[in-house]
Copies of this chain bind each other. A is one copy, B any other.
Amino acid sequence: MSQIASRLEELGIVLPAPVAPIANYVPYARIGRMLVISGQLPLGSDGKIAPAHIGKLGPHSPIDGAREAARLCAINLLAQASAALGDLDSITQVVRLGGFFNVASDFDSLPQAMNGASDLMAALFGERGRHARTTVGVAHLPLNALAEVEAMFEVA
Protein backbone atom coordinates (compact mmCIF):
# COMPACT_ATOMS: atom_id res chain seq x y z
CA MET A 1 0.00 0.00 0.00
CA SER A 2 1.29 3.43 -0.83
CA GLN A 3 2.42 5.80 1.92
CA ILE A 4 -0.40 8.31 1.53
CA ALA A 5 -2.98 5.54 1.16
CA SER A 6 -1.77 4.19 4.52
CA ARG A 7 -2.12 7.58 6.17
CA LEU A 8 -5.60 8.01 4.73
CA GLU A 9 -6.53 4.65 6.25
CA GLU A 10 -5.01 5.63 9.62
CA LEU A 11 -7.11 8.80 9.52
CA GLY A 12 -10.20 6.78 8.70
CA ILE A 13 -10.68 8.57 5.40
CA VAL A 14 -12.10 6.72 2.41
CA LEU A 15 -11.74 8.75 -0.77
CA PRO A 16 -15.07 8.94 -2.58
CA ALA A 17 -15.49 8.27 -6.26
CA PRO A 18 -14.29 11.50 -7.87
CA VAL A 19 -17.23 13.77 -8.50
CA ALA A 20 -18.09 14.53 -12.10
CA PRO A 21 -18.06 18.25 -12.82
CA ILE A 22 -21.53 19.74 -12.63
CA ALA A 23 -20.96 21.58 -15.88
CA ASN A 24 -18.84 21.58 -19.03
CA TYR A 25 -15.28 21.36 -17.75
CA VAL A 26 -12.95 18.72 -16.33
CA PRO A 27 -11.77 18.04 -12.79
CA TYR A 28 -8.09 18.64 -13.45
CA ALA A 29 -5.51 19.74 -15.96
CA ARG A 30 -1.74 19.36 -16.03
CA ILE A 31 0.93 21.76 -17.17
CA GLY A 32 4.45 20.48 -16.77
CA ARG A 33 4.80 19.28 -13.20
CA MET A 34 1.79 21.26 -12.03
CA LEU A 35 -1.57 19.59 -11.47
CA VAL A 36 -4.46 22.07 -11.22
CA ILE A 37 -7.68 20.77 -9.63
CA SER A 38 -11.04 22.46 -10.20
CA GLY A 39 -12.81 24.02 -7.23
CA GLN A 40 -14.44 21.23 -5.20
CA LEU A 41 -17.59 21.45 -3.11
CA PRO A 42 -18.17 19.74 0.27
CA LEU A 43 -19.91 16.71 -1.17
CA GLY A 44 -20.11 13.73 1.15
CA SER A 45 -19.25 10.14 0.27
CA ASP A 46 -22.78 9.77 -1.10
CA GLY A 47 -22.11 12.52 -3.60
CA LYS A 48 -24.52 14.90 -1.89
CA ILE A 49 -24.06 17.98 0.27
CA ALA A 50 -25.32 17.55 3.81
CA PRO A 51 -27.76 20.29 4.93
CA ALA A 52 -25.15 21.38 7.49
CA HIS A 53 -22.82 22.32 4.62
CA ILE A 54 -25.33 24.39 2.68
CA GLY A 55 -26.06 28.07 3.19
CA LYS A 56 -24.31 31.26 4.18
CA LEU A 57 -22.08 31.99 7.16
CA GLY A 58 -22.92 34.81 9.55
CA PRO A 59 -21.37 36.30 12.68
CA HIS A 60 -22.75 33.54 14.89
CA SER A 61 -22.22 30.54 12.64
CA PRO A 62 -20.32 27.73 14.35
CA ILE A 63 -16.76 27.29 13.13
CA ASP A 64 -17.03 23.52 13.20
CA GLY A 65 -19.49 23.27 10.33
CA ALA A 66 -17.40 25.52 8.11
CA ARG A 67 -14.21 23.69 9.04
CA GLU A 68 -15.78 20.32 8.28
CA ALA A 69 -17.02 21.66 4.94
CA ALA A 70 -13.47 22.75 4.04
CA ARG A 71 -12.18 19.32 5.05
CA LEU A 72 -14.72 17.63 2.78
CA CYS A 73 -13.64 19.91 -0.09
CA ALA A 74 -10.06 18.77 0.54
CA ILE A 75 -11.11 15.11 0.50
CA ASN A 76 -12.77 15.68 -2.86
CA LEU A 77 -9.61 17.43 -4.12
CA LEU A 78 -7.64 14.34 -3.14
CA ALA A 79 -10.16 12.07 -4.84
CA GLN A 80 -9.65 14.05 -8.05
CA ALA A 81 -5.87 14.03 -7.67
CA SER A 82 -5.96 10.30 -7.08
CA ALA A 83 -8.01 9.78 -10.25
CA ALA A 84 -5.55 11.98 -12.16
CA LEU A 85 -2.37 10.40 -10.85
CA GLY A 86 -3.31 6.88 -9.86
CA ASP A 87 -1.25 7.27 -6.72
CA LEU A 88 -1.12 10.23 -4.34
CA ASP A 89 2.50 9.38 -3.56
CA SER A 90 3.49 11.10 -6.77
CA ILE A 91 2.48 14.43 -5.23
CA THR A 92 5.78 16.05 -4.32
CA GLN A 93 4.29 19.27 -2.93
CA VAL A 94 0.92 20.76 -2.11
CA VAL A 95 1.65 24.17 -3.65
CA ARG A 96 -1.50 26.20 -3.11
CA LEU A 97 -5.05 25.96 -1.80
CA GLY A 98 -7.65 28.59 -2.63
CA GLY A 99 -10.55 28.67 -0.18
CA PHE A 100 -13.88 30.38 -0.82
CA PHE A 101 -16.54 30.56 1.90
CA ASN A 102 -20.17 31.53 1.38
CA VAL A 103 -20.63 34.54 3.67
CA ALA A 104 -23.81 36.55 4.25
CA SER A 105 -22.19 39.30 6.28
CA ASP A 106 -19.33 38.87 8.73
CA PHE A 107 -17.70 35.58 9.62
CA ASP A 108 -14.50 36.32 11.43
CA SER A 109 -13.18 32.76 11.56
CA LEU A 110 -12.39 32.26 7.89
CA PRO A 111 -8.77 31.18 8.55
CA GLN A 112 -9.83 28.71 11.24
CA ALA A 113 -12.48 27.28 8.93
CA MET A 114 -9.97 26.92 6.10
CA ASN A 115 -7.75 24.93 8.43
CA GLY A 116 -10.16 22.05 7.88
CA ALA A 117 -8.53 21.71 4.47
CA SER A 118 -5.00 22.74 5.43
CA ASP A 119 -4.79 20.47 8.47
CA LEU A 120 -5.73 17.47 6.38
CA MET A 121 -2.98 18.22 3.84
CA ALA A 122 -0.45 18.61 6.67
CA ALA A 123 -1.60 15.37 8.31
CA LEU A 124 -1.33 13.42 5.07
CA PHE A 125 1.72 14.90 3.39
CA GLY A 126 3.86 16.24 6.24
CA GLU A 127 6.49 18.67 4.95
CA ARG A 128 5.25 18.17 1.40
CA GLY A 129 1.84 19.31 2.59
CA ARG A 130 2.96 22.80 3.61
CA HIS A 131 1.21 25.05 1.13
CA ALA A 132 0.55 28.65 0.28
CA ARG A 133 -3.10 29.59 0.49
CA THR A 134 -5.64 32.37 0.01
CA THR A 135 -8.91 32.46 1.94
CA VAL A 136 -11.80 34.79 1.16
CA GLY A 137 -15.51 35.09 1.88
CA VAL A 138 -17.66 35.27 -1.24
CA ALA A 139 -21.26 36.24 -1.96
CA HIS A 140 -22.44 32.88 -3.30
CA LEU A 141 -21.21 29.45 -4.33
CA PRO A 142 -22.52 26.71 -6.64
CA LEU A 143 -25.30 24.67 -4.99
CA ASN A 144 -25.27 27.31 -2.23
CA ALA A 145 -22.45 25.29 -0.65
CA LEU A 146 -20.78 26.60 2.50
CA ALA A 147 -17.29 26.27 0.98
CA GLU A 148 -15.35 25.62 -2.19
CA VAL A 149 -11.62 24.82 -2.34
CA GLU A 150 -9.31 24.61 -5.35
CA ALA A 151 -5.76 23.23 -5.41
CA MET A 152 -2.45 23.28 -7.19
CA PHE A 153 -0.10 20.33 -6.67
CA GLU A 154 3.44 19.65 -7.82
CA VAL A 155 3.78 16.10 -9.11
CA ALA A 156 6.79 13.92 -9.85
**A→B interface (CB under 8 Å):** 22-34, 36-39, 93-98, 100-101, 103-108, 110-112, 114-115, 118-119, 122, 130-144, 148, 150, 152, 154
User: Does the CB pair A23–B118 fall under 8 Å?
Assistant: yes
Name 20 A/B residue pairs within 8 A (Cβ), A-sorted.
Answer: A24-B118, A25-B133, A26-B132, A28-B132, A29-B93, A29-B95, A31-B93, A31-B95, A32-B33, A38-B132, A39-B136, A98-B134, A103-B140, A104-B139, A107-B140, A108-B143, A110-B141, A110-B142, A136-B140, A137-B139
User: Does the CB pair B23–A130 fall under 8 Å?
Assistant: no
User: Does the CB pair B24–A115 fall under 8 Å?
Assistant: yes
User: Does the CB pair A119–B24 fall under 8 Å?
Assistant: yes
The distance in angstroms between the C-alpha atoms of A94 and B37, with both chains bound, is 13
Instruction: Tell me the number of copies of this protein.
Output: 3
Closest to A116 in B: B24
Q: Which residues of B contact A130 (CB under 8 A)?
A: 25-26, 29
> Do A33 and B33 form a contact, CB below 8 Å, given A25-B133, A133-B39, A138-B139?
no
User: Does the CB pair B134–A103 fall under 8 Å?
Assistant: no
